[in-house]
Structure 1
Amino acid sequence: MYKIEKDQTTKLLMDLVAIDSPYFEEDNIMNFVLEWFSSNHMEASVHEYHEKKVTGFKGKNIIVNLDSKKSGPVICINGHLDTVKLCSGWTTNPRGEVMDDRLYGVGALDMKSGCASTMVALRAFYENHRDFNGRIIATYVSVEEGPYGMGTNSLIEDGYLKDVDFSIAAEPSAGFTGNSFPDICLGARGGYGLEVEFFGVSSHAATPELGINAASDAARFICELKNVHYVEDPHLGRGSACVVAVESDGGACSVPDYAKVRLFWHIVVGENEKTVTDEIDKAIERAGIQCRYTIKFREAPSEGAKGFMPYTISAEEPMTRTFTETIKDVCRTDPSVSYFQSIGDFNYLGTRLGAPVVIFGAAGSNFHGSNEYVELESVYKTAEVIYAFLERVLTR
């Protein structure tokens, strides 16, 4: 009988971290994961997609389909194999370095930890339970860290996840919330990328009163964002607007007649494109700008990928309750319950499949930054929880 071992979980995670896989550059790690499942006698396939409309990117996902051919729940396990790009400031090895019970490296926490946990959990389940009820569809996707969540979006649009009853996104919930492991997230804020363009009138910088300064109006608008009225959600809290880029140039000595403010706007349940647009209109009115302006939500590959919609689920939903009880049994403590404050593939799963999604994974820190690390005991325990949950819902 196959048993999950911490050393094996750590070894697999180290192998994953050692492979460079920034978004748009995932071929090597996809090949590794495909071969890993094949060598462990599990059926895995490559799902290829081509995002033609915006990026032109041709990507891959790995799909593992464990089908009992008997009735029962369909469980989706989702993880992304890509990472953010290497940033500056590292003092540890970004390709993997173990110190005490921490593994440092790009993606060690976000989220190769979750991928390693689910991979060893699936191997243990397959070895111990060839006869079970229902189906497991495990997806290891590309370009989650990049634009549009293209890997998971393509799986949904190509129909691979249409029958799912319950999903586990093995993102590092404890690592993101800052709570002690174990922590389970029962929802997440959503968000949109958008830009506001300002069109003024140019004039010589010596006579700025003859023009309309687009840069100044953009600045006044930015200052008014602090007065936006955000919807308050009892679980997700409030939305937020973050200026991620500003563009304007008057040349050597001219009043700039154009400016662009690029935003990422996090939202909660009850907010949408219209509520965001309304708040921008109000902020511009308060700012008293003179420019003409337009609001443009970023172009998206498809209707479903225009934004990441927020969601929450009930702790009393039957499979969610079972998952929480499994955490308690394995970890011998009640998990804290949190709600994710940013976006990810779980938003697509939680709002487009019509089935509950939990976010559960490892502890650590410095995700998207230098010296990112994961606590190895939490990676192992995540694997144990997912294995025990699959056993509980598919073999009884």
Structure 2
Amino acid sequence: MYKIEKDQTTKLLMDLVSIESPYFEEEKIMDFVYKWFQDNNIEAAVHEYHESKVTGFKGKNIIVKIEGKEDGPVICLNGHLDTVKLCNGWTVNPKGEIKDDKLYGVGALDMKSGCAATMIALKAFVENHKDFKGKIISTYVSVEEGPYGMGTNALIEEGYLKDVDFSIITEPSAGFSGNQFPDVCLGARGGYGLEIEFFGVSSHAATPEIGVNAAEAAAKVVGELKNVEYIEDPHLGKGTACVVALESDGGACSVPDYAKVRLFWHIVVGESEKTITDEIEKAIKRANIDCEYKINFREAPSEGSKGFMPYTITGEEPMSKDFIETIEEVCETKPSISYFQSIGDFNYLGSRLGAPAIIFGASGGNFHGSDEYAELDSVVKIAEVVYSFLEKVLCS
């Protein structure tokens, strides 16, 4: 079994964490990763995209293509280099600090750990295998934590991933599921962003009965969203409707004639824009409001990025079985099986490419919060699993 030196993954992870890269601000880390591959004699390309419809953002991804000398499987490795914004409450250095064999820092777990692991795995694979069959496409993307998964969406829509047979996303499966490492996710819930607008009639606050209070109508509907009838999936469980923002203002002394409720609605297989709309209509009917209303799904860059579709795989697909067996061989224990409860680029890869997508990453804690950390031993194991899997399916 091929062993990867822990110092390699730790140093690279520390280097990545030391570079601040909140979404929309990934220029420096993209330059670093591009140069790292060049310095390690691995050809990399900078992929530039422009999301012109909604945000106007011009972003970058790093793409590494390693081709064998014979036809064979096309394996996609995917990870995002952006992070959430720095939050309050940190007690350690958010740009990287090691304590008790854990590396702390913004994005250490989510998901620079996974990116470091695949980078080291690729370095080892290229050094040891000059001749193999198939192709590896490793993608290090931007704006996963931001809107629309724009980096991976651009790669899909521009055809870079059209021939992929199997995707490995090194998001921190154990870190998110709470299961002991190793843990592998065989799917994920999906979701949509949307809003409900309410249109009332203004009046003086001394005579509210003359008006139609849009804020009260919104509040009644929010209350009824607790009674949504969700579809239950045997693996993904049930969806959730989360109110993420409320907006209404009647000024100093007026009945508000407008209100808006903004939602993020997680869904499981079998749910869609239509099922969401139907449940909102039922909630509005139960609330018995007097307001006019309008349901709007958020504007998106493209049809494919309107929502994150849920997906599951069986784990019995040939390469899924190979991957799970590789985890067991490298980690000397069977991985637990779970399903991601939130959304990410894995939804795009799992639902839009027509090929299995598996999520496998580090253990740790506090993702999207203060004192986020990755457990360093798990990062080494991810690299060894990815390397061994590539060897198994491309070199046999």
TM-score normalized with structure 2 length = 0.99
Q: Is the 8 A contact 1:212 1:291 kept in 2?
A: yes
State the match for 2:20 in structure 1. 20
How far off is 1:126 after superposition?
0.5
- Does residue 149 in structure 1 map to residue 149 in structure 2? yes
Q: CA RMSD in A?
A: 0.7
How far off is 1:70 after superposition?
1.3
Structure 1: gaps spanning 5 or more residues: none
SS at match of 2:300: coil
CA separation of 1:166 and 1:138: change in aligned 2, threshold 3 A: same
How far off is 1:68 after superposition?
1.0
Q: Distance in 2 between matches of 1:330 and 1:105?
A: 27
Q: Is the 8 A contact 1:26 1:82 kept in 2?
A: yes
Q: Is the 8 A contact 2:190 2:266 kept in 1?
A: yes
Q: Is the 8 A contact 1:3 1:124 kept in 2?
A: no
SS at match of 1:11: helix
Pairwise mapping of residues 357-396 of structure 1 onto structure 2 (< 5 A)? 357-396=357-396
Residue identity in the other structure for 1:326: T
- Does residue 284 in structure 1 map to residue 284 in structure 2? yes
Q: Distance in 1 between matches of 2:316 and 2:63?
A: 30
State the match for 2:198 in structure 1. 198
Q: Is the 8 A contact 1:202 1:254 kept in 2?
A: yes
Q: Is the 8 A contact 2:175 2:363 kept in 1?
A: yes
State the match for 1:220 in structure 2. 220
Pairwise mapping of residues 227-246 of structure 1 onto structure 2 (< 5 A)? 227-246=227-246
How far off is 1:5 after superposition?
0.6
Q: Deviation above 3 Å: which 4+ runs of structure 1? A: none
State the match for 2:272 in structure 1. 272
Residue identity in the other structure for 2:237: G
Question: Residues 166-186 of structure 1, C-alpha deviation per residue, up to 9 Å, x if partnerless?
Answer: 000000000000000000000
Residue identity in the other structure for 2:394: L
State the match for 1:293 in structure 2. 293
Question: Residues 210-269 of structure 1, C-alpha deviation per residue, up to 9 Å, x if partnerless?
Answer: 000000110011111110000000000000000000000000000000000000000000
State the match for 1:341 in structure 2. 341
- Does residue 34 in structure 1 map to residue 8 in structure 2? no
Q: Is the 8 A contact 1:195 1:296 kept in 2?
A: yes
Q: Distance in 2 between matches of 1:380 and 1:220?
A: 51
Q: Distance in 1 between matches of 2:3 and 2:166?
A: 25
SS at match of 1:191: strand
Question: Residues 25-63 of structure 1, C-alpha deviation per residue, up to 9 Å, x if partnerless?
Answer: 000000000000000001100000000000000000000
Q: Is the 8 A contact 2:75 2:165 kept in 1?
A: yes
Q: Is the 8 A contact 2:3 2:384 kept in 1?
A: no
Q: Distance in 1 between matches of 2:137 and 2:4?
A: 20
How far off is 1:69 after superposition?
3.6
- Does residue 89 in structure 1 map to residue 95 in structure 2? no
How far off is 1:346 after superposition?
0.4
State the match for 2:261 in structure 1. 261
SS at match of 1:89: coil
How far off is 1:4 after superposition?
1.7
Q: Distance in 2 between matches of 1:298 and 1:70?
A: 45
State the match for 1:126 in structure 2. 126
State the match for 1:57 in structure 2. 57
Q: Distance in 1 between matches of 2:186 and 2:47?
A: 29
How far off is 1:3 after superposition?
5.3
Q: Distance in 1 between matches of 2:68 and 2:318?
A: 22
Structure 2: gaps spanning 5 or more residues: none
Q: How many residues align?
A: 395
Identity %: 77
SS at match of 2:54: coil
How far off is 1:315 after superposition?
1.3
- Does residue 323 in structure 1 map to residue 323 in structure 2? yes
Q: Distance in 2 between matches of 1:186 and 1:201?
A: 49
Q: Distance in 1 between matches of 2:241 and 2:69?
A: 47
Q: Is the 8 A contact 2:311 2:350 kept in 1?
A: yes
SS at match of 2:78: strand
State the match for 2:350 in structure 1. 350
SS at match of 1:377: helix
Residue identity in the other structure for 2:18: A
Q: Distance in 1 between matches of 2:287 and 2:183?
A: 42
Q: Distance in 2 between matches of 1:226 and 1:211?
A: 27
Q: Is the 8 A contact 2:69 2:131 kept in 1?
A: no
SS at match of 1:72: strand
Question: Residues 339-374 of structure 1, C-alpha deviation per residue, up to 9 Å, x if partnerless?
Answer: 000000000000110000000000001000000011
Question: Residues 9-37 of structure 1, C-alpha deviation per residue, up to 9 Å, x if partnerless?
Answer: 00000000000000000000000000000
Q: Distance in 2 between matches of 1:217 and 1:10?
A: 54
